[in-house]
Chains A and B, each alone.
Chain A
Amino acid sequence: EAQVTQNPRYLITVTGKKLTVTCSQNMNHEYMSWYRQDPGLGLRQIYYSMNVEVTDKGDVPEGYKVSRKEKRNFPLILESPSPNQTSLYFCASSDRVVSGANVLTFGAGSRLTVL
C-alpha cells in the first residue's frame, strides 16, 4: 500500500530533550515536506525537500532541522524542544511534477507535547 509513515504518532517530552520524528514514504516520491498544524492557524510548512540532499526552509523553520540522505526518508529533528513546539506534525510527499500541480500524500500525523 502506498503510504507515508510517521513515528511516533504520539509523544510527550520535556523542554530541551532532543527528539526526532521519522517520516518514510514508499512511493519513490522526490518531494517531501513537513507541516505543523495548530488551531486557528491551519497548516504551516516547516521544511521541504525537492530531492536527496536538497532541503529548504518553509514558513516556520525556527527550532527545527531536517535531512534527506535517502529518497524515502525525511526526518524532522527538534534539537532543543520548547513548549511552543507543542503541535500536530504532518509529513507529506509527492511526485515532482514540473507544472507544480502536485498532489500531496500525507502521513497520519504525530502529536507532540513539550512540557
Chain B
Amino acid sequence: AQSVTQLGSHVSVSEGALVLLRCNYSSSVPPYLFWYVQYPNQGLQLLLKYTSAATLVKGINGFEAEFKKSETSFHLTKPSAHMSDAAEYFCAVSPFGNEKLTFGTGTRLTIIP
C-alpha cells in the first residue's frame, strides 16, 4: 500500500520568498509522484509529475520538485513566491502500473504581501 505525508497543513511565506512544501511518500514499488494545486473554488489541476525520467521535475508557474529516493521525499519548491500562488497544494502517489492515486492531506499556502 502507498501513502503520502505532507508536513505542515498551513505554510505562509512573504511575496518574493522561497516556497518549500514538503511531501514524503511510502510505496512498496517504484512510485509515480504528483503535485496538484487547487485554487479557491476550483478543482485540482496538475502542477508536475515524476515518472522516473529525471529526478528534478519542472512544472507550471515556476514550480519544481526533486525526487529523492534515499529520503522518500518529493518536496515542491519555487524560488520566488507570487501572490497568485496562494492555493492548496496536494502531493499524490501512484504505484507503477496501478491507476490508484493516493493523495496527501494538503498544504494551504498563504502569501504575505
**A residues adjacent to B (C-beta < 8 A):** 4, 31, 33, 35, 40-45, 48, 50, 58, 90, 92, 94, 96, 98-104, 106-109
Q: Could you say which residues of chain B place their CB within 8 Å of the CB of A90?
A: 43-44
Given the complex, which residues of A lie within 8 Å of B97, measured CB to CB? Answer: 98-100
Docked-complex contact A100 and B46, CB < 8 angstroms: no
CB of A104 within 8 A of CB of B46, answer yes
Is the CB–CB distance between B103 and A42 below 8 Å? yes
Question: In the complex, how many residue pairs between chain A and chain B have their CB atoms under 8 Å apart?
Answer: 67
- Give which listed residue, B9, B96, B99, contacts A31 with CB less than 8 A: B99
Q: Are A42 and B43 in contact (CB under 8 A)?
A: no
Task: Determine whether B94 belongs to the interface, using a CB cutoff of 8 Å to chain A.
Answer: yes
Taking the complex as formed, is B45 at the interface, i.e. its CB lies under 8 A from any CB of chain A?
yes
Given A43-B90, A100-B94, A103-B46, 6 further pairs, Cβ under 8 A: A33-B101, A42-B106, A90-B43, A104-B46, A106-B45, A109-B42
Q: Point out the residues of chain B lying under 8 angstroms from A33, CB to CB.
A: 101
Interface centre among B9, B99, B102, B103, by most chain A C-beta atoms within 10 angstroms, is B99
Which B1-48 residues have a C-beta within 8 angstroms of A?
Answer: 6, 9, 32, 34, 36, 41-46
Instruction: Report A3 CB to chain B, min CB distance, Å.
Output: 10
Q: Which residues of A lie under 8 Å from residue B90 when comparing CB positions?
A: 42-43
Given known A-B contacts A40-B9, A107-B43, A108-B43, A100 and B32 have beta carbons under 8 A apart: yes
